[in-house]
Structure 1
Amino acid sequence: MKHGAKSWQTPQNFLLLISIIVPVAFSSWMALLNNFVVERANFDGADIGLLQSVREIPGFLAFTVVFVLLFIREQRFMLVSLFLLGMGTFLTGFFPSLTGLLVTTLIMSTGFHYFETLKQSLSLQWLSKQEAPEMLGKMISVGALASLITYGALWVMLEKLKLDYIYIYAITGGVAMVLVGVMAVSFPQFQTKTTQSKKLVLRKRYWLYYALTFMSGARRQIFTVFAGFLMVEHFGYSAADITLLFLINYAFNFLFAKRIGRFIGVVGERRALMFEYTGLIVVFLGYAFVENAHLAAGLYVIDHLFFALALAVKTYFQKIADPSDMASTAGVSFTINHIAAIIIPVTFGVIWLSSPGLVFIIGAVMAGVSLILSLNVPRKPASGNEVRVLNWG
């Protein structure tokens, strides 16, 4: 702990409290987006497709974080990124046009993706290998609770107070910016034990981590884009129904994410990932053939819960990596993760037009590929013991 810091001013508490801010701004932005762009900006399908593509650009460019670190420390950069996220959300309601939304979305998304990259880097630097799994799970739980409260507040502002979108976006974005200011003055600058590399790092010995990260991005797109769309198009779920599903998802994350993190710490990354991908094969095949709306909702909740098990990919990397590679590789991994975000929505969208079930069958095959990759994770990963076979040095 830094000299003169109070007992609560720890890196762990900083990470926990900082996990509250993103749900306040980003959950609000996402929850209101579809209604806002249709009712205020008169968007059609092409417009929303363009907006979502622009939203993913900062994630694809996340590797540039290492160049910005030449000029600003990671912790301070994280706070600046969060402020951009809040500011983008704050401004959204004031510019209900295609051009305005493209600009505000780019501001919001740049802050969001840089923050997520830096959070991964600093978490793996500040947390010990023993405490990381449970602590990362606890951060998901805290974020889930903040999301639950945010969704509740949004419902009150929309249904009871009848506030216009411009005020809701301004309130949630403004609250996020105020919280960033509070965090900036409440916590000291924490020191990291290892100086981070200020250049892009791509190492052959990290190949399995890169492969698992890419497949994780592909799985995320199938859930985000197509699982929710299945609920609406095939089963006729209303906006209120989808909102309820999100509330259930976040409630489960709040209750179980910390336990899942502890579970990973006990059984190890290899078994946790094998369990996740085996479960995903079942879930995706379920999506492909399910005809019962309630069963589909159950699959949706289980699917979302599996996201917490993806922490095992991060803790696997923490155990095999050079400590100086955390910041650079966090940026590279976000870029790798978002390659799928560019490819899958477009290509799988074409497949969807002729066979929605085929989208999820391909998803099951992709989960099978991930399962095969997870078999190559050693029981006790470490530098020099990155994989069971094909260690390219």
Structure 2
Amino acid sequence: MRNRILNDWNIFLPGRGVRNFFAGVLIYGIAYNCFYGVLNNYLVDIQHFTEWQRGVLEFFRELPGLFLIVILALMHRASEWKILRIGALIALAGVVGLLFVGSSHALLILLVMIWSAGEHIFMPARNSIAMHIARHEKAGASLGLTSSAGFLGQVAGGLFAAGVFFFARRHFPEIPQKTLYNFIWIVIIVLLAAMYLASFPKLTESQQVRRPRLYFSRKFRKFYMLEIFYGARKQIFITFAPFVLILIYGLDTAEMALLVGICAAINIFGGTLIGRLIDKVGYRNVMIYDTVVLFFVCLIYGFADRLFPPGVAVWAVMITYVFDAIISTASMASSIYVREISDSTEEVTATLTTGISVNHLISVLAALLGGWLWTSFGVGFLFIFAAVMALCNTAYALTLPKPKEAQ
């Protein structure tokens, strides 16, 4: 076991702030799952959101991702580490506001947008640093370990949030639910402050990766198109899968937080295995088969209530939820594709940032469309749409050149 850990550590270059980086990723993972482990139940229990209102909220939550290329263009001279710190502070400001939001849906949406802006700023910087701290031939393994560290934090966050609500429900049932949610927000604030402090490694501030203010290139057109398909199918699951479990199958806050913790626990190993799989079989094969599997996941999720008895259907949907969380980690394959056809680390970072904005172009529309599809035609039709997007993703991934042919 000790030799395995040492071998994993040897994939990194010395003097790159590896320990600080993984400490920050771990802490952020805890905060992330504390937030998303309870958010959907908070929207139902405290804010009384409907399916349509959930779609509207998601539209605005994803806007920072759509405009990420502009946001990061304003920080084009900042180091990746400084961008991590900025993301942590912005997310922290959004969570602080949740303590005082009251019943105003408009203010709630604004605060979730602020949290989301910090989250989206963090994403490309994290992936970029993960590749830059690793030896060139081990970028996939580094991304996998980064993913696993984040999932380890998410396990802790999900279990903590679930434990808070389970304990309160059993021993202090008189405590108002809003007080419990506010306690979770305070914990997240402390965690984000700790992440900020962890993002000051020695000797790395000079390792600045300069990015052009705005960057599009024809050679990345396939990557941009794949991001569009990925953004559509991803958004359906992020937005509406938890609402299916809450509104249709009745999962409460503790149960949902526990479920997302289980997803993260499995992905501690799933992220590492998929990272190594990408290095072994290539990003192209992973992209293709990932979305083939997702097609069937969508069908089960949308039609479990028709395919199984009620007692079985809820378990089928929960298992499908966990399985989708596992295969979602395969999206890191696109980062490897970008690195393979890029001419510099600056181009990698700029392209990943552009890719996030591109997939959010469809994400914000998918959130509204998804709410309308569910309200108008039912949850089954909603996931048929996600399944079609998965098939489109598969078909387009088949057009990618094999790694040795990539230009």
**CA distance in 2: counterparts of 1:216 and 1:340, whole angstroms:** 9
Question: What do you get for the CA RMSD once the two structures are aligned?
Answer: 2.7
User: Residue 158 of structure 2 contacts residue 258 of structure 2 at CA under 8 Å; is this kept in 1?
Assistant: no
Shift of 1:359: 2.4
TM-score, normalised to structure 2's length?
A: 0.83
Listed one character per residue, the Cα deviations across residues 66-85 of structure 1 (whole Å, up to 9, x for unaligned) are 42234533321221211221
1:223 corresponds to which residue? Answer: 237
**Residue 318, structure 1, aligned to residue 332, structure 2:** no
1:33 corresponds to which residue? Answer: 39
Listed one character per residue, the Cα deviations across residues 255-304 of structure 1 (whole Å, up to 9, x for unaligned) are 22101110111001111112201111222233344333122322222111
2:352 corresponds to which residue? Answer: 330
**Residue 110, structure 1, aligned to residue 138, structure 2:** no
Aligned residue type for 1:343: L
User: Residue 292 of structure 2 contacts residue 391 of structure 2 at CA under 8 Å; is this kept in 1?
Assistant: yes
**Residue 303, structure 1, aligned to residue 310, structure 2:** no
**Residue 366, structure 1, aligned to residue 389, structure 2:** yes
User: Residue 215 of structure 1 contacts residue 337 of structure 1 at CA under 8 Å; is this kept in 2?
Assistant: yes
User: Residue 58 of structure 1 contacts residue 113 of structure 1 at CA under 8 Å; is this kept in 2?
Assistant: yes
Range that drifts further, 90-99 or 204-213: 90-99
Range that drifts further, 236-245 or 15-24: 236-245
Task: Spell out the pairing of 1:204-353 with structure 2 (5 A cutoff).
Answer: 204-290=218-304, 291-292=307-308, 293=313, 294-323=315-344, 324-352=346-374, 353=376
Shift of 1:9: 5.3
**CA distance in 1: counterparts of 2:367 and 2:158, whole angstroms:** 26
Range that drifts further, 110-119 or 166-175: 166-175
**Residue 379, structure 1, aligned to residue 402, structure 2:** yes
Percent of residue pairs identical: 23
User: Residue 30 of structure 2 contacts residue 155 of structure 2 at CA under 8 Å; is this kept in 1?
Assistant: no
User: Residue 285 of structure 1 contacts residue 360 of structure 1 at CA under 8 Å; is this kept in 2?
Assistant: yes
Aligned residue type for 1:225: T
Shift of 1:247: 2.3
Three-state SS of the structure 1 residue aligned to 2:78 is coil
Shift of 1:173: 1.0
Q: 1:103 to 1:143 in 2, by over 3 A?
A: same
Task: Spell out the pairing of 1:156-175 with structure 2 (5 A cutoff).
Answer: 156-160=163-167, 164-175=180-191
Higher RCO, Cα 8 Å, sep 6+: 2
Shift of 1:176: 1.7
The counterpart of 1:20, out of the listed 20, 26, 29, is: 26
2:9 corresponds to which residue? Answer: none
Shift of 1:177: 0.7
Aligned residue type for 1:261: G
Q: 1:230 to 1:167 in 2, by over 3 A?
A: closer
Task: Spell out the pairing of 1:54-69 with structure 2 (5 A cutoff).
Answer: 54-69=60-75
**CA distance in 1: counterparts of 2:373 and 2:101, whole angstroms:** 34
Listed one character per residue, the Cα deviations across residues 197-247 of structure 1 (whole Å, up to 9, x for unaligned) are 323111111111111111111121121123333334444444444333322
**CA distance in 2: counterparts of 1:300 and 1:106, whole angstroms:** 25
User: Residue 88 of structure 1 contacts residue 108 of structure 1 at CA under 8 Å; is this kept in 2?
Assistant: yes
**CA distance in 2: counterparts of 1:37 and 1:233, whole angstroms:** 11
Listed one character per residue, the Cα deviations across residues 339-392 of structure 1 (whole Å, up to 9, x for unaligned) are 12211122232222324322222322221111111112222256xx24xxxxxx
2:379 corresponds to which residue? Answer: 356
Q: 1:96 to 1:234 in 2, by over 3 A?
A: closer
Q: 1:127 to 1:101 in 2, by over 3 A?
A: same
Three-state SS of the structure 1 residue aligned to 2:203 is coil
Unaligned runs of 5+ in 1: 1-6, 387-393
TM-score, normalised to structure 1's length?
A: 0.86
Range that drifts further, 224-233 or 359-368: 224-233
Three-state SS of the structure 2 residue aligned to 1:347 is helix
Q: 1:34 to 1:214 in 2, by over 3 A?
A: same
User: Residue 129 of structure 1 contacts residue 318 of structure 1 at CA under 8 Å; is this kept in 2?
Assistant: no
Listed one character per residue, the Cα deviations across residues 107-155 of structure 1 (whole Å, up to 9, x for unaligned) are 3222111111222333344434421111111111111111111122223
Q: 1:64 to 1:125 in 2, by over 3 A?
A: farther
**Residue 149, structure 1, aligned to residue 171, structure 2:** no
Q: 1:374 to 1:46 in 2, by over 3 A?
A: closer
Q: 1:319 to 1:12 in 2, by over 3 A?
A: farther
Three-state SS of the structure 1 residue aligned to 2:403 is coil
**CA distance in 2: counterparts of 1:85 and 1:102, whole angstroms:** 14
User: Residue 14 of structure 1 contacts residue 187 of structure 1 at CA under 8 Å; is this kept in 2?
Assistant: no
User: Residue 91 of structure 1 contacts residue 169 of structure 1 at CA under 8 Å; is this kept in 2?
Assistant: no
2:204 corresponds to which residue? Answer: 189
Three-state SS of the structure 2 residue aligned to 1:198 is coil
Unaligned runs of 5+ in 2: 1-12, 169-174
2:95 corresponds to which residue? Answer: 89
Aligned residue type for 2:382: V
Aligned residue type for 1:202: F
User: Residue 65 of structure 1 contacts residue 331 of structure 1 at CA under 8 Å; is this kept in 2?
Assistant: no
**CA distance in 2: counterparts of 1:45 and 1:300, whole angstroms:** 18
Aligned residue type for 1:176: L
